[in-house]
A and B are shown apart, each in its own frame.
Chain A
C-alpha cells in the first residue's frame, strides 16, 4: 500500500512542478506586461495551437511520416548490417569505421549536401533522419549479437545447430534488449534528424513539416505559433520515447532483468 502511494506521489511531483512553472511563467508575462512578440504566456500559446490546429496537425503528420519512415529504414538497415557484421569479423572490421564516420559528422553539416544531390526533398529528409537514427541501432545490436554466453554456443555446437539456427534461436533473442535500447534512442534521434533536415531545406523548397511551420512563423514574427510548433514537437518526442519504452517492456518483462520488477 505504502509503495503504491509513494509511486503516486512520484508521478504527481513532476506534474506539480510543471504546473507551477507554467503558472509562474504566465504570472511573470502578465505582471511585467511582456509583449507577445517577445515572450507569449502559456495560455496564449495554447490558444495559438488551437487556432492553427488544422495547419499544425497536418504538418505534424508530415514530420511524423518522415520520422517513422526513417526509423523503419534504420531498423532494417542497422539491424541488417549488425547481422551481417555478426557473420564475420572481417566484414565488421572493414565497414564499422564508416558507420562511425557517418555518425560523428554533424547532420546539420551534411543535410545541405544531401538536399542538393537528392532532388526529391521528402527523400532527402528521410535520408538525413535515417543517418542519425541508424547508428544507435547498429552499434547496440552488434554488441548484443556478439555478447553471447560461450556456454550457449557450446550448447548449440553440441546439438549441431546450423549457422542460421544459432543466429535465430540464440544470437537474435540475446541481442533483443540491446536492440530495443538502441531503438529508444533512435526514435528520438530520428525526429531530431527529420527536424534538422527540414530546417536546412526550409529556405530552398517548400516543405510542410512542423519544422518548416516554426521557421515560417519566425519570418512572420508570430512567436506564439513558434512556441505552439515547439510544444507539438516536444510532445511528439516524448510520445515516441514512451511508446518504445512500453514496447520494450512488453517484449522483455517476462525475462529480462531491465524490465522485471524485483519483489521484496
Chain B
C-alpha cells in the first residue's frame, strides 16, 4: 500500500490548538494530514479531542491557533455524526435529498443521485419510510447515503458505529469499505475501537489526551479488499497488538480501558 503512504496530502493541520471559551484546552500542538485516497482513523481515549479535530477539518469549529490547509482547495465534504441526525419529519428520501435541496437542485434533478446513494448503502425500497420506522443500523445507512449524495471527495465520520451492535457494526464496516473502494474517497474516521480501526484503515493516528495530540502514526499494510478472513488472520492480530500497545502508551500506561 505504498501508493497511499506516498499520496499527496488532501488537507493538513499544523500546530493546531483549540481552547474552548470555558478554558478547556482540548487540543494543543496537533499536526496531522489526510492523504488523498487514504482511509485514516483517529484513535484515542474518549475526551482526547478526536471530534474537535474532525470538526476543525470540516470547518465546523475554528482552531484557536495553527492552520488547516487544503493543498488543492477545499473539496466537497461529507460528514457523518455519531448519531444518525435524521430529520424525523422527512422520509428517507427527503433526508438524503436535503443537501442537494440546500444546493438548489430540484427533486427531478436530485432523483438519480439519491437513488444511487441509497443503492450504495443497500436501502433501495425504503425511500418512503420515516426514520422512526428504521433500525439503528438502517438509520446510520441513511446518514451515510446523505453524506455520499453530494459526491464528496472527503468523508469525515465521527464514531459512526459506536452505538450499534457488533453484527450490524461489522456489516456496516464491510459496506463502508466497498463504498470507499468504489469511489476512491478519502476517509477520516474517528473511533475508540482498536479492532474497528485496524480492520478499516490503511493508517491509524493514535491520539493522547490533555491536551489532544497525535502520538503515533501506524500504517496498516494489509491489502484490500479485507474480508471476514482478514479478521481472523495473523496480520490482523499483529496490527491489533501494535495499535493496542500504542494506545496504552498514549494513555500513559494505564491499563484500564
Contacts and interface: CB of A to CB of B under 8 A. Distances in A.
Interface of A: 149, 151-152, 154-161, 165, 169-170, 173-174, 176, 254-257, 260
A155 B85 contact: yes
Given A156-B102, A158-B77, A159-B102, A151 B83 contact: yes
B169 to A, nearest CB: 21
Nearest to B88: A255
Given A151-B81, A152-B85, A256-B88, A157 B60 contact: yes
Contacts of A176: 89
B251 interface: no
A242 to B, nearest CB: 24
Nearest to B143: A155
Contacts of A149: 85
Interface string B98-125: 1101110000000000000000000000
B79 interface: yes
B210 to A, nearest CB: 24
Interface of B: 55, 58-60, 77, 79, 81, 83, 85, 87-89, 98-99, 101-103, 130-132, 150
20 contacts: A149-B85, A152-B87, A154-B60, A154-B81, A155-B85, A156-B102, A157-B60, A158-B58, A158-B59, A158-B79, A159-B99, A159-B102, A165-B102, A170-B87, A176-B89, A254-B89, A255-B88, A255-B89, A256-B88, A257-B132
A169 B131 CA distance: 16
A257 B207 CA distance: 40
Contacts of B103: 159
Nearest to A260: B132
A257 B89 CA distance: 11
B102 A160 contact: yes
